[in-house]
Structure formats: C-alpha cells, structure tokens
Amino acid sequence: MGKNKTSYLCSECGASAPSYLGRCPECQAWGSFQEQVSLVKPKTDTLRNRTLVGGGAETNTPCIMRLADVVLENAEVYSSGFPELDRVLGGGIMPGGYVLVGGDPGIGKSTLMLQVASQVGQRGKFVLYVAGEESPYQIKIRAERLAVNAEAISILALTNIQQVLESIRNARPDLVIIDSIQSMYCADVSGTPGSVSQIKECAAILMEAAKTLNIPIFLIGHVTKEGTVSGPKLLEHTVDAVLYFEGDKYQNLRILRTVKNRFGSTQEIGVFEMAEMGLREIANPSELFLSQSMLGSAGNQPGSVVTATIEGSRPILVEIQALVGQSAYSTPRRVGNGVDANRLHQIIAVLERRLGLDFSRQDVYVNVVGGLRIDEPAADLAVAVAIISSARNLSVIAGTVVAGEMGLTGEIRPVRQCQNRWQEVARIGFQRMLIPRMELPPNSLPDSLMILPVATIGDAIKACFSPRRPGADASPADFADLASDYSEDSTEILIEELTP
C-alpha cells in the first residue's frame, strides 16, 4: 500500500522542491509554488513498454538499430485544407506530427481546428475530435453556424486520457484533435486537470501515441496572462510544432505564427480574417494591411509611410504610422505597437545624433497598422521616416515604399530578399521604392517601379521629402531628375529645413 508524499511544484515551469519556496530558482517567478500531495504507487502506463519503431509492437527488450537500417515509409503529407496553415506547418499535416496550438480565449482556436477537421474529413480521412471542454451538442451548434460538414467529423467527449488513448488505438483515425490538453487527466497521477503534473503526463502519453501509431495529433492549449502556453515548459519541448494564434478578439484580423517547427521554418505566418462563417484565409495580406491606410489620390498623410517586410518567404507591405507631440511629462513617452521598443529608442537616438533633431520634450508613438508585429530590422528606415514626417508635418511623396536597416552611424544597411520586396511593391502598384545602396542584379528591375538606392539617412530624407514637393497626382516622370539629389555637392536645403 502506497503512502502520501508532499511536494511543491512551480506552476510556471514545473520545477519541484521538497518545501515551499517564495521564489522559483529555475524561472525566478515569485509565489508560484503550489502544494502537491500524491500517493506513491507503481504507475500503469499502457505505452511505456512500446518502442517508437515497428508500429507499436509489444516488446520487453529495447530495439537498437543502425540509422542506415531505418526504413522510410511513403507517408503522405496531406493538406489541412487551409494553405495558410500548411505554410506555417511546413507543407501540410505530417503523419505522426505532434502540434500545439495556443492562443487567448475567444481568439478562434477551436473554430480553426473544427474547420480543419471538416476539410480533412471531406478528403476521406477519419478525423477524431476529442472534446474535453464542450459537449457534442455545443460542438454541433458551432458546426452548423460555421456550415462545416458534420458528417466528416467524429466526436469523442472524454477527459480520461487512458480512455482517450484506448479509443485512438482501436479506431486508428487519420487525425486527432484534443480540445484541450488542460482538460485531460490521468487517473494514475495526482492533481486536478490542468495542473503541472497532469499536463506533463497526458502530454507524454499523447506524444508516444502519435509516434508509435503514426497518427498526427493537434493539441489546443490555453495561455497564461503573460501570453505563454499554460503548464510546464516541457509541453512546448515535447511537441514537434508550437503555433500561436494572435489577434485582438475585438477585431477581425488573426495571425497564426509558429515559434517552433521541426518540419519547416519558424518565420512563416498565416493570415486569417474572422468572418460570420468562421475563419477565412487572406491570400494577399499586403492588400489587407493597406486597405485601411490613407493612400490614394490624396497622397500620404504626415506621419505615414509604407514598408516592405518579409515574413518567412513571403513579402508583405504594411503601413507604419508615427505621431510626435509635445510631452506633458518630465520624461517623454516612447510607445511602439508592432515594433520592438528597444529598437524604437535606438532609432530616435540616431535621429537626434546624426540629424540634430530634438525629441527630449516630445512624445513619440509608432504603430504598425493592422496588428502585425515586425521583428526584422528592415523596418528601421520606415520608422525613422515616419517619425520625421510627423515631427515636421511633411507628407512622404505619394507612391513611395521604404525598406532598410539603419545603423548607429546613420548608414542604411542591406536587407535580405530585396528583390522579392520590390517585386511585391511593383505588383501592388507603387511607383517608388527606397532600398539600401547595393549592386542591383541586371534585368531584374520592374519597368513600372523607380528604385532609389540610399546610403545614409540624409539620402533617404532627400528621396522621401523632395524640395520640389510634387503634387499628389505626380507621375514617375516627375521624378526623373531626382538623381541629382544624391550628388555630393547637392543642396542641403531640405536637411536644413528639417533640422532646428
């Protein structure tokens, strides 16, 4: 007969301690240790004696083999029915793949998985949807609202992981969706569903089921108030891919971002729009992010500039807006939505040092329109131009796109995949693009796009705010002689006009 054992587990990282600690020595979280009373007894795990090779046959001796002797099966990587999701997954649903999908409450995780289940089921696959938080009746109501094919989805309303595992072994579905991992529990482990010990054990059992039975399993996970997946960090290390569903639940835009992927790039994103009939893919994100911008026959507004960013392998055009105003506080505010705050401080410091601008008594707000977050430094130049445009109430020449990394000395440094950027700019219909000075590939420039290489922030100012200031209806021919602005002995009227 077993006896009770008391231990303390950190709710943030899962670290264990024999006594209560005020601060976790692993993750440095305060007040995160919780008492766990468990009955020490032998575990009865149905998968612990299975090997990961050989289709799950029972064995008492570990099977050791050379890597060269492993036979590659012709496993089909099939589509989820959503090209945006396939892009993030690295090509599609991988047999035996173990994927975690996290996101804020109400963001659309269950909606996405239900639509994926319908699309996969319509291709003749057997999809098992394990409902741990909702009844089949509630799921049927949502399925009718989303107009998905209910005939293609099988529902299993269970939270006992042993019973779920037995059902998976007997039915052998082509795809399993667990909604959610925090609702599952193992009878051999103490603690309530959602606790660290329960999540660790349930995740381990499902992982072995995915690998031994070669069945792809998608887990829906809750997130904490800090935005990370609830439960131990081990959960993210166990799975093959971790996807985060981002967006404001009061807006329609949804972005599916991958932070870990063993089968593909971690830089890809999927763009969706929450509509009345569920999630809808956005095949052309550039037009979505620019649809609400003030770009048109009236020209740009002061403080607005368009940049070309790269997300994975796809170029996306987004609008960056800046607002510079008199500060009412002793310490001016620096707020960046969609851009790194440290990067914003660095850009402002460069403008003050290299151009002589003074922001010591002015608040600076920068926002990426549409809710996209830009992590790459290629947006530095666009942020700098937007700040200058707002500070001096000057509009950027209409039809201009800016891309480039800005160094501490004010130089504009090269960015990756520059050719893909200007091809997207030309496709959308812009006439001018500022890029870092580089050797341009021959016969690669679109005829409809004027490429303006710049070497310093001063060159960028001359190209964005021409002293001649053509009107909003200006054509590319009106900028034919703009190259003179780049000569060493060119006038510095614009620089003097921008600086105090």
Can you tell me the mean pLDDT for 390-397?
Answer: 89
Q: What is the pLDDT of residue 202?
A: 92
Radius of gyration of the chain (CA): 28
Mention every residue, 6+ apart, whose C-beta is less than 8 A from residue 420. 310, 313, 315
Output the pLDDT for position 346: 95
Predicted pLDDT of residue 323: 95
Residue with more model confidence, 55 or 178: 178
Other CB atoms within 10 A of residue 406 CB = 28
Backbone phi, psi, residue 386, to 5°: -65, -40
> pTM, whole model, 2 decimals?
0.73
User: Burial of 8 by CB count in 10 Å (0-12 exposed, 13-18 middle, 19+ buried)?
Assistant: middle
Q: What's the token pair of residue 5?
A: 């054992």
The mean per-residue pLDDT over the stretch 155-159 comes to 93
Position 289 scores a pLDDT of 79
Contact 276, 297 (CB under 8 A): no
Asked if residue 309 lies in contact with residue 318, where contact means CB atoms within 8 angstroms, the answer is: yes
Residue 482's pLDDT band, with cuts at 50, 70 and 90, is: very low
Mean per-residue pLDDT of the chain: 82
Per-residue pLDDT, averaged over 346-368, amounts to: 93
> Quick one: pLDDT at residue 411?
93
Question: What is the DSSP secondary-structure string of 224-253?
Answer: -TTSSBSS-THHHHHSSEEEEEE--TTSSE
At 295-315, the pLDDT tens digits run 443 456 889 999 999 987 789
What are the pLDDT digits (tens) for 416-434?
Answer: 888 889 888 888 888 899 9
Residue 3 confidence (pLDDT): 60
- Between 126-135, 172-181, 291-300, the lowest mean confidence (pLDDT) is in 291-300
With a cut of 60, say whether residue 161 has pLDDT above it: yes
Residues 178, 217: Cα–Cα separation, whole Å: 7
Residue 51 pLDDT exceeds 70: no
Helix (H, G, I), strand (E, B) or coil at 460: helix
Higher pLDDT, 256 or 446: 256
Q: How many CA atoms lie within 13 A of 60 on its CB side?
A: 0
Please report the pLDDT score of residue 485 as a whole number. 39
Give which of 234, 173, 236 is closest to 209, Cα–Cα: 173
> Quick one: pLDDT band at residue 340, thresholds 50, 70, 90?
very high
Q: Does domain 289-498 bear CATH number 3.40.50.1820?
A: no
Pairing of strands 450-454, 432-436: parallel
User: Region 223-236: what's the mean pLDDT?
Assistant: 72
- 184, 189, 187: which is closest to 40 by C-alpha? 189
Structure confidence at residue 167 as a pLDDT band (50, 70, 90): very high
CA dist 36 and 191 (Å) reads: 7
- Contact (Cβ atoms closer than 8 angstroms) between residue 302 and residue 281: no
The pLDDT value recorded for residue 486 is 35
Q: Quick check: 347 pLDDT over 80?
A: yes
Residue 475 has pLDDT above 50, yes or no: no
pLDDT in tens, 16-49: 788 888 888 877 888 888 887 765 555 444 444 4
Express as a percent the part of the chain with pLDDT over 70: 82
pLDDT (tens digit per residue) in 242-282 = 999 888 766 788 889 888 999 888 878 888 988 888 899 98
What is the CATH topology of the domain spanning 75-283? Rossmann fold (3.40.50)
Average pLDDT over residues 174-199: 88
